Structure 1
């Protein structure tokens, strides 16, 4: 909504009161933010910065784990996308068709643009076949990003970590979307059975995979949404994964949005998923350097 300049002070005050009332009502539809800094308004961004809202979620939707709630987590995620209108969504523990559903939800919030997505199926370490959800679809991690039209050269890159925990039946993976002249968006879910392996996987993604994808443009902004299975107070610490200048915005547990040095973190919200999954959602507002 655009508001024109008005010379009448009374009308100006009335306009601002109406805007504040509307923004307050908009936050009441889905989820409760335990640390709600972003759900009611977008941050003020300077003229040389580009705002990006990131929503990270582990939906536990395989149908095989105790945290599965019959698909309710996906419905909750759709509601959060409609409410918060993120420009990037990173997903863990989803079935392939869940990505289509979330892609449609993002498209509905901003029909003028397109949605780029990347999905990486986890690997069954015994036979290297994709891990399957109970419904027969591939199970894994995904990242989705709003893309202005046209945006040439967009590509998805996925892979399997060379280091895995031998006691984990699930081979861990990563998925990235390379948006030329904008940023690199990635998602991953590192090992839950061995923190040392989780740390090695995180370091491999940020230290080896990311530079290999974005080698054409040094200094490309990088954003990673992830369930790292590492905390800041754990041993090893999640902070040990980060190169100099990188920032970690977290839910005080294992949900993370990691961003490279050129990106400013403006705010975060930890979202109550209302029992639909065993992890909260994490909503982070970033300011990317204008390119």
Structure 2
């Protein structure tokens, strides 16, 4: 009598496996992760201000680039709900309040548009966040600030800042933020937690200079810049590419950094 059909089928499958070798499971596709850095010059005081039109231009940029994180400098707190809505229905934001050195009060945008500063927007929402000012400050009237947020789903940390126009002070502020302040918002304390710090650092990449933007990048982190003063410093992400896009209602381009993880 011949072998049962089920045993013959099993033998055939085994023969195919032996011929083909071990089966390797398909590789997991890398997850894209995008950061958008903007400076909108929207206080109403600087000469680059264009009657708030930079906010609408930023909304269009967000809708076209679809970032996971947006860092936006020189904005009014009242601009953030509109920008956050453009990022997505689940997005949340945290604001960094710039303050007056003489009084400690918030610096206000013109025409009653609220507090002036920077915002960090996270598409997947925010679990916890914080903001503060630097120990190092220059001789000007503005107290420079930062804001950080821990994301709701993937538990990465994203921070924004707009640093001093005095390079030595800007470098000291950058070193204060990265990594100590950033890591303080990571409850895991893990070396593999993803972090991004974006902003107008008022520092340029200048090899050999004591105030090069690269000088505030700790070991294990890396920096990408727009060729001028906007930078993104990151950890535990894989760099893919950068793009800059012209903005016509502010004096800074939009800067995008693409990563995977």
Instruction: Answer yes or no: same fold by TM over 0.5.
Output: yes
Find the counterpart in structure 2 of residue 163 from structure 1.
136
Match of 2:241 among 262, 267, 285: 267
Give the Å deviation of 1:81: 0.8
Where does residue 95 of structure 1 map in the other structure? 76
1:169 positional shift = 0.8
- Larger CA Rg, structure 1 vs 2: 2
Are 1:200 and 2:181 counterparts?
Answer: no
Give, in whole Å, the separation in 2 of the partners of 1:247 and 1:87. Answer: 19
The yes-or-no answer on 1:283 pairing with 2:253 is no
Query: 1:224 aligns to what?
Result: 197
User: What is the Cα-based RMSD across aligned positions, in Å?
Assistant: 1.5
Displacement of 1:49 after TM fit?
Answer: 3.5
Q: Give the total of aligned pairs.
A: 230
Of 121, 134, 139, 2:97 maps to 121
More relative contact order, 1 or 2 (CA 8 Å, 6+ apart): 1
TM-score, normalised relative to structure 1: 0.76
The answer to whether the aligner puts 1:179 opposite 2:179 as a matched pair is: no
The 5 Å alignment of 1:225-244 reads: 225-233=198-206, 235-244=210-219
Instruction: Name the stretch that deviates more: 173-182 or 79-88.
Output: 173-182
The answer for the alignment partner of 1:142 in structure 2 is 119
Q: Report the secondary structure of 2:43's partner residue.
A: coil
Runs of 5+ consecutive residues of structure 2 not aligned to the other structure = 1-26
Is the contact between residue 230 and residue 238 of structure 1 (CA under 8 Å) also seen in structure 2? yes
TM-score with structure 2 setting the length: 0.84
Structure 1 unaligned blocks of 5 or more: 1-45
Q: Distance in 2 between matches of 1:212 and 1:49?
A: 28
Offset, 1:48: 5.7
Structure 1 stretches of 4+ with a deviation exceeding 2 A read 46-50, 179-182
Q: Which residue of 2 aligns with 1:252?
A: 227
- Equivalent residue number for residue 188 of structure 1: 161
Other structure's SS at 2:123 match: strand
